[in-house]
Amino acid sequence: MAETPDTLRRQQHAFTAHLRDPARVPAPAGLDPRRVAVYERLLFNNLLGLLSNGFPVCVRLLGETAWQDLVRHYFATHHGHTPLFTELAAEFVQWLQVQPDLPHAALAELAHYEWVETALYQLQAEPLPVAADIDPLQVPLRRSPLAWPLLYRWPVHQLGTDDAPVVPPAEPTGLLVRRDADGTVRFATLSSLAVHLLTLIGEAPGLTGQAQLQQLATLHHLDVDAMAGPGAQLLQQFLRAGVIGPLASPP
What span, in angstroms and rounded, lies between the C-alpha atoms of 239 and 128?
10
Q: What is the CATH number of the domain that holds 181?
A: 3.90.930
Structural domain includes residue 75:
yes
Cβ contacts of 124-129, under 8 Å, gap ≥ 24:
127/179, 127/180, 127/181, 127/242, 128/242, 128/244, 128/245, 129/242, 129/245
φ/ψ of residue 127, rounded to 5: -70, 160
Whole domain around residue 218: which residue ranges?
Answer: 141-246
Indicate if 92 and 170 belong to the same structural domain. Answer: no
What span, in angstroms and rounded, lies between the C-alpha atoms of 82 and 59?
23
Edge-to-edge strand ranges of the sheet holding 185-190: 147-152, 173-179, 185-190
* Closest-CA residue to 242 (of 188, 203, 204): 188
Give yes or no for a contact between 96 and 102, defined as CB atoms under 8 angstroms apart: yes
Indicate if 149 and 109 belong to the same structural domain. Answer: no
Indicate if 59 and 150 belong to the same structural domain. Answer: no
What pLDDT score does 107 carry? 96
Each residue's pLDDT tens digit, 3-56: 566 655 665 555 565 556 666 656 566 565 676 666 677 778 888 999 999 999
What is the residue-averaged pLDDT of the chain? 86
More confident residue, 106 or 38: 106
Each residue's pLDDT tens digit, 64-89: 999 999 999 998 888 877 767 678 89
What pLDDT score does 19 carry? 57
What span, in angstroms and rounded, lies between the C-alpha atoms of 27 and 186?
48
What span, in angstroms and rounded, lies between the C-alpha atoms of 27 and 135?
68
Quick one: what percent of the chain has pLDDT higher than 70? 81
* Closest-CA residue to 55 (of 104, 117, 146): 117
Mean predicted confidence (pLDDT) in 90-119: 94
Give the total number of structural domains in the chain.
2
Res 148 pLDDT > 60: yes
Facing residues of 143 across strands? 244
Of the residues 58, 93, 122, the one at which a domain ends: 122
Give yes or no for a contact between 56 and 101, defined as CB atoms under 8 angstroms apart: no
What pLDDT score does 16 carry? 61
Non-local CB neighbours of 56 within 8 Å, separated by 6+ positions? 114
Indicate if 15 and 97 belong to the same structural domain. Answer: yes
| Other CB atoms within 10 A of residue 102 CB | 14
What pLDDT score does 108 carry? 97
218 pLDDT band, cuts 50/70/90, is: very high
What pLDDT score does 239 carry? 94
Mean predicted confidence (pLDDT) in 192-209: 95
Of the residues 122, 151, 171, the one at which a domain ends: 122
More confident residue, 131 or 88: 88
